[in-house]
Amino acid sequence: MRFRLTTLLVFTILYAVPAVAAAQEFVPDTVTTSKARVTEIVSQDVKIVPGTDVETVYQTIKAEVLDGEEKGKNITIENDYLELREGQIFYVSHTTSSLDGTDYYAVSEVDRLPALFVLLVLFIAVVLFFGGKQGARGLLALFGGFFLIAFLLLPGVLQGYSPILISVAVSSLIVCLGSYVTHGFNKTTTTAVLGMVITIVLTGLLAYVSIVFTQLSGFNTDETVYLNFNTRGSIDFAGLLLGGIIIGTLGVLYDAAIGQAVSVEELARAGEHLSRREVYRRALRIGREHIGALVNTLAIAYVGASLPLLLLFYGFGSDSVALALNREVFATELVRTLVGSIGLVLTVPITTAT
């Protein structure tokens, strides 16, 4: 009897373990995305979102797939995401269940690329028309900066290199490229570049100290959480936050440094009898006025980017002001604004002295 029970138990374990493992194996659904065109609005009405008192538009639409393996296929979609109109082109998400092979279609996004292309062309036309040759140089510097970010900064971070070092290096390259392409190789441009590079290094050090003392983790948005899972935790998100602070301040640093370098040059030319100390004092007076405008611009820009979050906490948050400011999502924006503003202020005396 013992032998029989033991044999039964062994066979049970041998057959049960693979079965459990197979049952626990996760097979993801197949998801593809294609372009489609709305051919007919079958029905449209306003319904209440389940579990809430919010109204939204529900549509039943017929659409024709425009590309991919299902090109030419006519499909029917229950749409409660974006209100579409007949003839509109959008992206449709096709999900095939791994369990029973059921197909499910959903509206993913509207096709915004034509509108974005028109805006881009308008931007380039305005810059070239009013900026002339200088505007063309500015566009070249802008696209060069995006190139460095896309093909040097982003791949470097994803490959595991320090976000701090890469951000400082790429920022310095962007500064050099943008300055010399736009303003040419001369003493004034070199002065501005040196001032900006020194300020970038100091701002990076200040940002590092600020992140350490405020104990920011860098996980203040949904995309950082998704990115952490996709990269299996290989990225230093505190360092990535620091890099974002540095990159985000480049525009205003560039503006302040070039302005100060040109101010010093013009003052020195117009007043050759002035001592270096007097030129520095007068140029700093110009820089103070510039600082007031730029700091306000930087702070308001960050507020504008965080406006939905501010509205959410202002109208519906139950936290006290102190607790709300202490939350990482707010503390991160405060650190970003304050560090960027300090770096901006330091640009003026550093560039003027240089």
Check: CB of residue 235 under 8 Å from CB of residue 159.
no
Q: Let me know whether 317 and 266 are in one domain.
A: yes
Q: Is the pLDDT of residue 294 over 90?
A: no
Please list, in sequence order, all residues whose beta carbon lies within 8 angstroms of the beta carbon of residue 107, skipping any fewer than 6 positions away. 77, 79, 81, 82, 84, 90, 91, 92, 93
Dihedrals phi, psi of 60, to nearest 5 degrees? -115, 115
- Per-residue pLDDT, 20: 44
- The residue out of 85, 111, 137 marking a domain boundary is 111
Look up the domain containing 192 and give its range.
Answer: 114-353
Whether 345 is in a domain gets the answer yes
CATH of the domain at 106: 2.40.50
- The residue out of 111, 127, 151 marking a domain boundary is 111
Q: How confident is the model at residue 251 (pLDDT cuts 50, 70, 90)?
A: confident
Q: What is the pLDDT of residues 30-78, one digit of tens each?
A: 888 999 999 999 999 988 888 788 888 899 999 999 998 889 999 999 9
Distance CA 323, CA 76 (A): 48
Distance CA 102, CA 29 (A): 10
Q: Let me know whether 99 and 136 are in one domain.
A: no
- Per-residue pLDDT, 178: 85
- Per-residue pLDDT, 102: 84
- Per-residue pLDDT, 2: 57
Q: What is the pTM for the complete model shown?
A: 0.74
- Per-residue pLDDT, 300: 78
Q: What is the pLDDT of residues 83-120, one digit of tens each?
A: 899 999 999 999 988 787 788 899 989 999 999 999 99
Q: What is the DSSP letter of 328?
A: H
CB atoms within 10 A of CB 71: 12
Distance CA 325, CA 314 (A): 12
Greatest mean pLDDT among 171-185, 217-231, 238-252: 171-185
Check: CB of residue 91 under 8 Å from CB of residue 35.
yes
Q: Let me know whether 106 and 154 are in one domain.
A: no
